[in-house]
Amino acid sequence: MRLAVIGCGYVGLVTGGCLAEAGHDVIATDTDAARIDTLNSGKLPIYEPGLEGVTERARRAGRLRFTSDSGEAVRFGDAIFICVGTPPLESGDADLSAIDNVARQIGAKAGSFKLVIEKSTVPAQTGEQLRRALAVYGRSGGAKFHVASNPEFLREGTAVGDFFHPERIVVGVEDAESEQQLREIYRPILEGQFHCPVHQPTCPAGPAPAFLVTTIASAELIKHASNSFLGLKISYANMLAELCERLGGNVEEVTQAMGLDPRIGPQFLNAGLGFGGFCLPKDIQAFLRLAERNGVDFGMLREVERVNKRRIDLFLEKVRRALWVLKDKEVGVLGLAFKPNTDDIRFAPGIEVVRRLLGEGAKVRASDPVAIARASTVLAGVDFFEDPYDVARGAEALLLLTEWKEYRQLDWARVHKEMARPLVLDARNMLPPAQMKALGFEYHSFGRPDLTSAPVFA
Which residues contribute to the site for ligand NAD (CB under 6 A)?
6-12, 29-32, 35, 83-86, 98, 101-102, 120-121, 152, 154, 156, 278-279
Report how far residue 349's alpha carbon sits from residue 105's, in angstroms, rounded to the nearest whole number: 36
Rg (CA), the chain: 24
CA distances, 246 to each of 207, 448, 449 (Å)? 43, 10, 10
Query: What residues are annotated to the active site?
Result: 279
At its nearest, how many Å lie between ligand NAD and the CB of residue 341?
12
> What's 88's DSSP letter?
B
At its nearest, how many Å lie between ligand NAD and the CB of residue 7?
3
At its nearest, how many Å lie between ligand NAD and the CB of residue 152?
4
> What's the helix, strand, coil split of the chain in %, to 5?
45, 15, 40
Query: Cβ closer to ligand NAD: 81 or 384?
Result: 81
Report how far residue 333's alpha carbon sits from residue 330's, in angstroms, rounded to the nearest whole number: 10
Residue from 113, 106, 134 nearest 177 by CA: 113
Q: Which amino acid is at 198?
A: V
**What is the SS3 assignment for 85?**
coil
Closest residue to ligand NAD: CB criterion:
9
Query: Cβ closer to ligand NAD: 171 or 364?
Result: 171
At its nearest, how many Å lie between ligand NAD and the CB of residue 366?
23
Query: Cβ closer to ligand NAD: 10 or 47?
Result: 10
408 C-beta neighbours (distance < 10 Å), count: 14
CB-CB contact of 320 with 251 (8 Å): no
Residue from 71, 98, 78 nearest 87 by CA: 98
CA distances, 343 to each of 10, 375, 376 (Å)? 11, 9, 12
Query: Cβ closer to ligand NAD: 70 or 367?
Result: 70
Query: Cβ closer to ligand NAD: 31 or 250?
Result: 31
At its nearest, how many Å lie between ligand NAD and the CB of residue 175?
24
